[in-house]
Structure 1
Amino acid sequence: MATITLSNVSKDYGGGPVLRGIDLEIREGEFVALMGPSGCGKSTLLRLIAGLEEPGGGQIHIDGRLVNDVAPKDRDLAMVFQSYALYPHMTVRENMSFALKQRRLPPAEIKAAVEAAAVKLGLTNLLERKPKALSGGQRQRVAMGRAIVRNPKAFLFDEPLSNLDARLREQMRYEIRKLHRELGATSVYVTHDQVEAMTMADRIVALNDGTIQQVGSPQDLYDNPANLFVAGFLGSPPMNFLDATLAPDGALVVEGQTLARVSPPAGPPPTGVASGAVILGLRPERVALAASGEGVPARVDVVEPTGTGRVIHLGLGAQRLKLFIMDTRPLAVGETVGLIVPPGAPLLFDPATGTRVG
């Protein structure tokens, strides 16, 4: 197990900065997800840790050792790629043992390591097959097994589940997390999928435009997002954002109606909201339908059954929002329903900067 420390790390390929002054400490035995949209710099950051790219500035330490100029093979890290990267002419056993043979380990030790990893991953009956005779999920398990047998200081996962269908992704999420608990190895996992980040990570590093937006536990980022980017990236359906006015008494006025109330500001409002203009963030599952004739009126535009509940698309004047409800009452398109926003549900953001202000 290893600690990984990044200090003011940057990267520029010549067309503008890809990473801008990244500071991050990954603790021993921790599972950290680097999460963000395509182009945010998460895969570049992983490649810098692995040594496949050189940083433009800053320092990378593994277990306290500066590794900026250390070759990838000498960093004692194992990578699992999206593309599996298996040797097609080799059997599963040969693929998993290849790196150990390169180290010239005793054959008995190699055999024991491969078979132990195969048991963990359910590959025992597939050891003599070649990759072409395996499913996508089996190939990914082989790629993981090849990494496990090396007993590295840390595992680096670069979107390893992107090529799998939804059911296999769910299965592999479970298997990767289970393996992490069993091995206790430091793991860094790159993903654009917020479900993967939320369900697997001890901590999430939310990246956008080459900068860290927020670091914390999945639940903390979900409940207490630092800005509009983090709030909108996590959650399905995503958070609603409404243009609102914050009155001195704490009333949040949307389209001329008081949709919710918050505690009145304790002091001068932050720069950018002095006029009372805010962006109101509401999680779809934290807004309720009122009893008939009560609540703030909104128009039903679309009803989407999901099996476990329903996503209701609503019109509130010129603005739109979604609800996720378990309520089974009949709803018709065009019908007017009432909304109730409970205390604690509203999140407030500065419209000028996107920063969380309440």
Structure 2
Amino acid sequence: MATIDLKAVQKSFGPIHVLQPVDLQIRSGEFVVLVGPSGCGKSTLLRMIAGLEETTSGDILIAGQRVNDMEPKDRNIAMVFQSYALYPHMSVAGNMSYSLKLRKTAKERIAKAVKGAAETLGLSKLTDRKPRALSGGQRQRVAMGRAIVRQPQAFLFDEPLSNLDARLREQMRAEIKKLHQRLGATSIYVTHDQIEAMTLADRIVALDAGRIQQIGTPLDLYQRPANRFVAGFIGSPAMNFVSGTFRKGDEGRPPHLDAGHAAIPLAELGIADGRALTIGIRPEHIVFADPEATDAIDCDVELVEPTGVGTIVHLRFGDVALKAYRPGYGDWKAGGRLRILAPVEHIHVFDGETGMRIEHGGEARV
């Protein structure tokens, strides 16, 4: 399998800059997920690697070779699309073998490759069927099988599960991960679904507005987000945010965020009193406090959502809405009251203007 290196890669459509300079090194055999909201440039970047879009500037290297001027067919990569892109008049075997036939590969080699891919993907009993006789999940397996038989240097996935229902997405997500573990193939996977990113990736590349916001393992991005965008995009339910003013405290009060309705304790940040901050805390880290607990925040319960494995409790204090998550069930009811605490070791602090992370002494380390 091959390394893939992007060096100051940019893309513009006229005056519109879709991708700012992107530098990224993908190791051989690594599974990298490009994640971000619609329009962030992730699919454009994937298509440039595939050769389906020209780069405005910068270099793309596959296995150390510059491929900017190479045709897609000469880059020795395989792409799995969102739309499956199967030939409706061909059987499963015909779709999987078509690219090999175009290359005039020996019939014995084609038969062996198709048989192996079909067995790997659980399609052995379906090779004579046409795409119209297959489910969405089976069609996506055929699309992956068509990529596998080519034995490419790298696999590119462009939101391959977005057309499937929730149950099939979960099943196919697991199958893609098992397939990668079996083949050890260099893979780049594009999605806007952060759960797919968290479960599949060796490393995640988070993009927003054409710029890389953070690169790291799933736990890196979850536990130490580089900025407010990453903090809010990664995690489900999403991180809670409260904005206010940093106060250094005095003899009777520790450093805290003055949120207007409440004072939220913070560690000493070594920054100026009065600086605008935003703090974040994940729903699972909010503590339901005893009625007599000091420094707790009184909240109204607005909504209770049982999810099966746990419960999401929607809270409000003043004009701030929060979500708390608890495994299992409780007797929380809309219209009730709860007192909560935000443990300092689970609080993330971001600059109120730039959104960048500010380290503080109370935060848990990865």
TM-score under structure 1 length normalisation: 0.96
**CA positional deviation for 1:312:** 1.0
| Separation in 1, partners of 2:43, 2:261 | 45
Q: What secondary structure is seen at the aligned counterpart in 2 of 1:344?
A: helix
In the other structure, the counterpart of 1:141 is 141
| Separation in 2, partners of 1:346, 1:339 | 14
User: For 1:266-292, what per-residue CA distance to the aligned partner results, in whole angstroms no more than 9, with x for missing partners?
Assistant: x344xxxx5232111110111011123
Structure 1 residue 336 corresponds to structure 2 residue 337: yes
| Separation in 1, partners of 2:155, 2:328 | 43
- Structure 1 residues 316-325 or 55-64, which shifts more? 316-325
Q: Which runs of 5+ in 2 are unaligned?
A: 249-253, 360-366
User: Is contact 1:255-1:318 (8 Å) kept?
Assistant: no
In the other structure, the counterpart of 1:112 is 112
State the one-letter code of the partner of 1:19. L
| Separation in 1, partners of 2:129, 2:328 | 51
In the other structure, the counterpart of 2:303 is 302
| Separation in 1, partners of 2:101, 2:261 | 72
| Separation in 1, partners of 2:78, 2:182 | 17
- Structure 1 residues 53-62 or 286-295, which shifts more? 286-295
Structure 1 residue 254 corresponds to structure 2 residue 259: yes
Structure 1 residue 200 corresponds to structure 2 residue 200: yes
**CA positional deviation for 1:128:** 0.4
Q: Which runs of 5+ in 1 are unaligned?
A: none
In the other structure, the counterpart of 2:233 is 233
Structure 1 residue 325 corresponds to structure 2 residue 330: no
| Separation in 2, partners of 1:65, 1:351 | 43
In the other structure, the counterpart of 1:275 is 274
Structure 1 residue 3 corresponds to structure 2 residue 3: yes
- Structure 1 residues 331-340 or 151-160, which shifts more? 331-340
User: For 1:41-63, what per-residue CA distance to the aligned partner results, in whole angstroms no more than 9, with x for missing partners?
Assistant: 00000000001111001111111
RMSD of aligned residue pairs (Cα, Å): 1.3
Instruction: Give the 3 Å change call, closer, same or farther, for CA 251–268 of structure 1 in structure 2.
Output: closer
In the other structure, the counterpart of 2:61 is 61
- Structure 1 residues 173-182 or 285-294, which shifts more? 285-294
Alignment of 1:286-301 (within 5 A): 286-294=285-293, 295-301=296-302
> Identity of paired residues, percent?
56
Alignment of 1:86-101 (within 5 A): 86-101=86-101
In the other structure, the counterpart of 2:314 is 313
Alignment of 1:41-60 (within 5 A): 41-60=41-60
Number of residue pairs aligned between Structure 1 and Structure 2: 352
In the other structure, the counterpart of 1:345 is 346
Q: Which runs of 4+ in 1 moved over 4 A?
A: none
In the other structure, the counterpart of 1:355 is 356
User: Is contact 1:246-1:252 (8 Å) kept?
Assistant: yes
State the one-letter code of the partner of 2:77. L
**CA positional deviation for 1:84:** 0.4
In the other structure, the counterpart of 1:263 is 267
Alignment of 1:161-240 (within 5 A): 161-240=161-240
User: For 1:180-224, what per-residue CA distance to the aligned partner results, in whole angstroms no more than 9, with x for missing partners?
Assistant: 011011000000000100000000000111110000001110111
State the one-letter code of the partner of 1:250. P
User: For 1:122-158, what per-residue CA distance to the aligned partner results, in whole angstroms no more than 9, with x for missing partners?
Assistant: 0000000010110000000000000000000000000
User: For 1:287-334, what per-residue CA distance to the aligned partner results, in whole angstroms no more than 9, with x for missing partners?
Assistant: 011123333211111111111121111111221111111364322322
Q: What secondary structure is seen at the aligned counterpart in 1 of 2:55?
A: coil
User: Is contact 2:306-2:329 (8 Å) kept?
Assistant: no
User: For 1:20-72, what per-residue CA distance to the aligned partner results, in whole angstroms no more than 9, with x for missing partners?
Assistant: 10110111000000001111000000000001111001111111111110111
- Structure 1 residues 291-300 or 327-336, which shifts more? 327-336
- Structure 1 residues 64-73 or 246-255, which shifts more? 246-255
State the one-letter code of the partner of 2:275. G
- Structure 1 residues 34-43 or 7-16, which shifts more? 7-16
| Separation in 2, partners of 1:184, 1:99 | 22
State the one-letter code of the partner of 1:166. A
**CA positional deviation for 1:343:** 3.1
Q: What secondary structure is seen at the aligned counterpart in 1 of 2:344?
A: coil
State the one-letter code of the partner of 1:37. P
State the one-letter code of the partner of 1:210. G
| Separation in 1, partners of 2:332, 2:124 | 53
Q: What secondary structure is seen at the aligned counterpart in 1 of 2:355?
A: coil
Instruction: Give the 3 Å change call, closer, same or farther, for CA 160–328 of structure 1 in structure 2.
Output: closer
User: Is contact 2:247-2:274 (8 Å) kept?
Assistant: no
TM-score under structure 2 length normalisation: 0.93
User: Is contact 2:276-2:353 (8 Å) kept?
Assistant: no
| Separation in 2, partners of 1:181, 1:107 | 28
**CA positional deviation for 1:15:** 4.3
In the other structure, the counterpart of 1:14 is 14
